[in-house]
Each structure stands twice: as C-alpha cells, then as structure tokens.
Structure 1
Amino acid sequence: MQKKLGTNVGGEMLEAIASAKDVNAQLVLADRNIQTTLLRIWRKLSLWEKLKLIFSLTFSFGEDTEISSEDLQELLKEDMLESAISGLRKQFPAVGQILISERDQYLAYKIKNAPGQKIVAVLGGAHVPGVKKEIFKEQDIESISVIPPKSKISKITAWIIPALITGLFVYAFIMNIQTGLNQLSAWVLWTGLLAALFTALCLGHPLSIITSFIAAPITTLHPMLACGWFAGLVEATIKKPTVQDVQNIQEDIFSLKGVLKNRFLKTLLVVIMSNIGASIGTFIAGTGIIRNLL
C-alpha cells in the first residue's frame, strides 16, 4: 500500500475532490465530524479556560490577518508549523490536544483503513507532522470519537435554578398579582435584553438578535433548552456556512476577525454569546427577584 501525504492551505480539499473526479478515484472523507470536535473542546475546557479563550478572541480583534504569499510559504515550513502548534498547546492545552493531536490520530487511522491499494491523502499543513508520526502507531479511535457527557454538577444546576426561579414567580403571584407581573417583567427584560446585547456584540444578524430577546426569557426557565440554539439556527439559516468555512476553521478560530468572517464559527459565536448574555440576565434578574420577595 502506497501513501502520500501532501499539503496545501485553504483549498486543498476542493482540489482533492476535483482531482478525484478527474481520475475517477474513490473519495473518502477522513476527518472527524466537526460537531464532535467542537463539542469535545467545549466540554473539556474548564470555565476559566472558556473565558480565557473568549477574551483571547476578543483582544485579537485588531490584529491584521492578511498575509502575503511569501509569509504563507514561510508558514508552511515544518518548523514554523511545529512552533505555531506548540504555542497553541501551551496557551490552550485542551484545544491543541483535541483540535490538532486527536484529529492527527483520527486522520492516520482513516488513512490506514481506507479502501484500495494506492491511497493519496490530502491534508492541511498543520496535520502533516502529526499524521506522519501517528501513521505507524495504533489509535484508540473510539475514545476520540465520542462527546464527553456533562458533569453531574452542571446537570443538577441546570434543573435546580429554573425550578427555584419558577417557584419564586408562583410565590410572587400568590402574594400579589401586580408583584408577580413586576417580577416577570424584570425577568423578561434582563434575560432578553442581555441575550440580545451579547448577540449584537458579535455582530449577529438583526433577526438573530430579535430571536435572542424572545427566546431568552423562556429558555432560561427550561433546562433542556438554550437561547443560543435558536439564535444560532436563525444565524445559520440566514447566512448559511459553506464548505470553505468548515475547511478554514483551523486557521480562522484563533482571531476574532477570522471568526466573524467564517460563517460556521460566526454561528457558533452567536450561540455562545447569546447563552452568556441570557445566563448573566438570569443571575441579575434572579437575585433581584429574591431580594424583592425575601
């Protein structure tokens, strides 16, 4: 079995598809499901690491992401790639492990198990060094293909807080209908406005902002729903992510300018920011209700 590892940046997958069609070769998509990768990153990050990643993206907004062809060729050198990946792993170990190392393992496993006697593997430049090492190893493919479950604490908290807030609303209406309406109005305004504000901060579509405002007061009282899901669905429907957006995730994810340009990552950012705004609104409105009633 012959295997060839090649590099190209940005359009390598489109070129591979076109070349496969030209020679009538069987095309095998070898990368791990992007949803699995992103959910593994989010579930593995601690609260501090999540905040650190968001702040890192925010403060990189002003960076110039335009590079010349000479810069690109220099970046493609293995030592430059190794240095960039090493820096990523130092700053965000979990992100580097899941986004790069685990996918190196996954890609190597898929390449080794691809059908046919002659195989051409087309990879992004950042994966070539890792896949070269992994290709001769055994991979535990099952352990890197599953989404980690939520922690027990987060599951319990997800039910306790809505139940507590709902109980306070009932208590407020029992005391006085006007009191109940005042507390309910405060809840709607705080959760809705902050969810909408945070969606607007990441330049979400106006309809996504409106969706955040409408969905937040309801979803924050239901442990199985999230405001960001609805806002993200609207964002993705209006500005549909492309294949190119998915291919560029690895390059775009580490700058806010890249995230805002990439429709897939932009949708993910809308989901996250909308949820953060709704959560802050829940805390402010919830503590206000407790203070006013108790």
Structure 2
Amino acid sequence: MSVGSPETDTSEQGSVRVVGTAHVSEESAAEVESVIEAEQPDVVAVELDENRYRQFKGKDPEDIDPKELLRGSAAYQFLAYWLLSYVQKRLGDQFDVEPGADMRAGIDAAERIGADVALVDRDIQLTIQRFWAGIGLREKLGLLWELTLAIAGVGGQEAEEFELEELTDNDVVTAMIEEFRQFSPTAAETLIDERDAYIAHNLHDLRAAGLDVVAVVGAGHEAGILKYLESPETLPPKDALEQRQSKRFSLRKAFGYVLTLGFLLFFALLALSGADQPTLLAVFGAWFLFNGIFAFTLAKLAGAHWTSAGVGGLVAWLTSINPLLAPGWFAGYVELRHTTVNVSDIGRLNEILDDEESPIGDLVSNMLDVGLFRLIVIVALTNVGSMIASVLFPFLVLPHMGEEFESVGAISNAMLAGARNGADILVQALL
C-alpha cells in the first residue's frame, strides 16, 4: 500500500509503499523483490538496526560491554534477547526459510537497482531495555518461562498447524499479536506500538525529503505504521522513543533498603545491650561461613573460576542485610577477568540447542563452554546459593549453637529482649 504526503502540495513530497511480510516466508521475500523492481524507489527502508544490518552483510556486530550484563537487570535483558532470537531461528528451521529472508531480499534488490538502503528500526538493545524496565516481576518471570518452554519444544505442535502462506495474512498476524498483548500488554506496547511509531517517524522524514520509498516491515507492524503515516501529527515525540526507560519505583527495592536499615539498627542495639559478645561473634561467623559455602559451591558448579567463586562466597552474607546486594554480581565482575563474552555467543548457543540428539548432560556442558551462558549461570547460581543458605540457617545451624538457640521462638525472644535493653540504654544516654 502506498501512502502519499498529507500535504496539499505533493509536488515536492515523496511517497511510501509499505510491504508487510512474514519474517520466515519465502513467498514474502519474492514479493519484496517484485515490488522493488516494479516501483524503482529512491530508497528501500528495512526493519533493521545497525547491528542486525551488519550481520546481514556478513560483518561482525558491534560487541557488547560485558559489564553491562551485570548492571541491574541487563543480564536478563540479554537472556530474553537470546531466547527470542532462538525462537525465531526455530521457526526458520521449521519452514526451511532463513529468518529475515524478506529483509535480505529488500537489501539485495536495492543494491541491484542502485537504491539507497535506510535502516529505520530502533536499536534492539534499546527496545529490550525499555521493555524489561517497563514490566513487573510477574510478567518477567512469566515471559522467561514461556520462552524457555518454547526453546524446550513444549507446545511446538501448535506452530506446525499454521500454513506457510497464512503467515503473511494480516488477520493471522494481528491475532498472534493480540494474544501476546493479553499475556503482557506492556511488552506489546514496547515491542510493537513504540516501534511502529519509531519506524513511521523515519519513513515520514524520508517522504518529507521528497524521496520515494519502499518499506519492508513485518506484517504485524504494517497497520500501525500506515496509521501514523496517514496522520503524522499523531506521532509521539521521537526523542521520547529514543530514551532509555527510567527505572520504575519498586516496592521490592524500598523493602530492601528498609530491611538493611532495620538489620543494622537491630544488630547495633544487640551489641549495645551488653549481650554476650563471644556468642554474637560465633553466630555471625557461622552465618558468614554457611552463606559462603553455599554460594561458593553453586558458583563452582556453574563453572566459575576459583577467584570468582571465592569472591561470591565472601560477600554472600550481605544478601541477608540487603537482598539487592546479590553476591552473583560480585562473582560475575571477577569472572569477566577469565571469561570472554561476545555477541557471537548467541549464535553458538543456538547451534548447540539445535542438536536434538545430544544427551542433556552434554548439552548443558557445551552451553557452559560459551562465555555468555556461563557468566549468566554463575551470577544466577551464586545468588541462589546465598538465598538457600539464608533460609536454612535458622533451622540447620542456630539450634546447634547453644540452648538459647534451640528453637526459633527462643531465638526471637532472646534477640528481642536484647534489642529492648539496647534501646533503653540508648534512650537513657540521650536523656
């Protein structure tokens, strides 16, 4: 469908022909080539960003800063990006079509006729960042679970029910999008609606410059883009679409900070009360060792270097003071001295997962040989080890440290009594 400029005088305005395609359809690739040959546009716009375009041209994508994987939820963002990439690859294998064949057809056709190629999609890392920062914990866990099931092949028979030609039908694509929107409305808004607006902005700018454009986009984006092109005054500001999503207020983080302050105050009052110092030191030492052993052991099982696992074990007790101070972060930073992480790791992981005949043990072992996967697993298992130790400590260790610690009730009463004594001493000192 072609969309001209809404201006009255169109003599200096270009036009946009939007071709909605299925990313795994050979017929879509043929349609793209046919339209470009017929239209002879000045520009062929494709739904790609710079990194994905470099991959299409056989170049290495810009590498990532490994430290970004350890900042906040960046590791989970990258994990989600990998899972999405693998699901798309499986679709391509199922239909025996290279994923993105439609985009490659557009690029090749543009080069044949001498047209320029415009990369009109938003950077995928920015899209994933905005998506991940904008959804809640329940949606994050649910999405990762669904994607994991997809990789494992659970429910894969439903995809086989679709005829290849149906994947280019807008009604089917829209139905698939609406199903995704019901599962995660915020994800749909970020991955679909915002990208519709971003792509439409770039197409409108090309049209306003007097260029004739053929735009190759996924069929799920076609309706949204056409709507914006017909009424460009409804486009949201482009600057807002290019900003990294600010972190939302989190009750979990607020609780973590309150817990930290409460723990430090409580411990200070216990010490001030004149409680038995050797007993306090023994409890703290046992807590330190118990957390450290669990975190260290699970980090080593994940393939961590001795120094990385050691650092994770040393700081594991901090998780009890503040759950947001995850020992896996510290272990991960040290592990980066011994592990190389590259964007190409995603392709290696996809190749390993394609080997359906490999035993599960060999599969996991081969995946742990990939730097990206090993780093993420080390971070995750170090944190899990600390959390397990925190839960088990009152039941497995404290009862063996003296009669006053034989039951959870006795422990609570003793600690509360000590804290009250400490508070009384502090009030008297202040008065």
2:230 is paired with a residue of what secondary structure?
A: coil
Q: Which residue of 2 aligns with 1:40?
A: 130
Q: Which residue of 2 aligns with 1:16?
A: 106
Q: Which residue of 2 aligns with 1:118?
A: 212
Q: Which residue of 1 aligns with 2:240?
A: 143
1:31-110 paired onto structure 2 within 5 Å: 31-60=121-150, 61=152, 62-64=154-156, 71-110=163-202
Whether contact under 8 Å (1:215, 1:227) holds in the other structure is no
Whether contact under 8 Å (2:342, 2:372) holds in the other structure is no
Q: Which residue of 1 aligns with 2:345?
A: 240
1:37 is paired with a residue of what secondary structure?
A: helix
Shift in CA distance, 269/241, structure 1 to aligned 2, threshold 3 Å: closer
Superposed CA deviations along residues 110-136 of structure 1, whole A, max 9, x for unmatched, are: 111135512221212322222222222
Q: Are 2:227 and 1:227 aligned?
A: no
Q: Which residue of 2 aligns with 1:252?
A: none
Whether contact under 8 Å (1:227, 1:278) holds in the other structure is yes
Q: C-alpha separation between the residues in 1 aligned to 2:210 and 2:315?
A: 50
Specify every segment of 5 or more residues in structure 2 that has no aligned partner in the other structure, as ranges.
1-13, 24-98, 272-276, 351-363, 399-410, 416-431
Superposed CA deviations along residues 36-78 of structure 1, whole A, max 9, x for unmatched, are: 2212222222222222223323444323379679822212111
Report which structure shows greater RCO (CA 8 Å, sep ≥6).
1
Whether contact under 8 Å (2:291, 2:389) holds in the other structure is yes
Shift in CA distance, 31/217, structure 1 to aligned 2, threshold 3 Å: farther
- Using structure 2 for the length normalisation, give the TM-score: 0.48
RMSD: 4.7
Whether contact under 8 Å (1:212, 1:227) holds in the other structure is no
Superposed CA deviations along residues 172-230 of structure 1, whole A, max 9, x for unmatched, are: x9757665443223223434555777xx6xxxxx56x9998567546764958783794
Shift in CA distance, 8/82, structure 1 to aligned 2, threshold 3 Å: closer
Q: Which residue of 2 aligns with 1:250?
A: none
Deviation at 1:26, TM superposition (A): 3.1
Q: C-alpha separation between the residues in 2 aligned to 1:194 and 1:277?
A: 6
Q: C-alpha separation between the residues in 1 aligned to 2:129 and 2:199?
A: 18
Deviation at 1:108, TM superposition (A): 1.0
Percent identical across equivalent pairs? 22
Count the aligned residue pairs. 266
1:143 is paired with a residue of what secondary structure?
A: helix
Whether contact under 8 Å (2:328, 2:380) holds in the other structure is no
Whether contact under 8 Å (1:81, 1:126) holds in the other structure is yes
Structure ID, larger Rg:
2
- Please identify, of 82-91 and 114-123, the stretch whose mean Cα deviation from structure 2 is larger: 114-123
Superposed CA deviations along residues 219-243 of structure 1, whole A, max 9, x for unmatched, are: 764958783794997584385346x
Q: C-alpha separation between the residues in 1 aligned to 2:221 and 2:371?
A: 25
Match of 1:185 among 265, 270, 289: 289
Deviation at 1:83, TM superposition (A): 0.9
Instruction: Read off the aligned partner of 2:200 and give its amino acid letter.
Output: A
Q: Are 2:225 and 1:131 aligned?
A: yes
Shift in CA distance, 124/274, structure 1 to aligned 2, threshold 3 Å: farther
2:156 is paired with a residue of what secondary structure?
A: coil
Instruction: Read off the aligned partner of 2:191 and give its amino acid letter.
Output: L
- Using structure 1 for the length normalisation, give the TM-score: 0.66
Shift in CA distance, 285/2, structure 1 to aligned 2, threshold 3 Å: same
Q: C-alpha separation between the residues in 1 aligned to 2:224 and 2:289?
A: 55
Q: C-alpha separation between the residues in 2 aligned to 1:278 and 1:165?
A: 22
Q: C-alpha separation between the residues in 2 aligned to 1:277 and 1:26?
A: 48
Whether contact under 8 Å (2:298, 2:381) holds in the other structure is yes
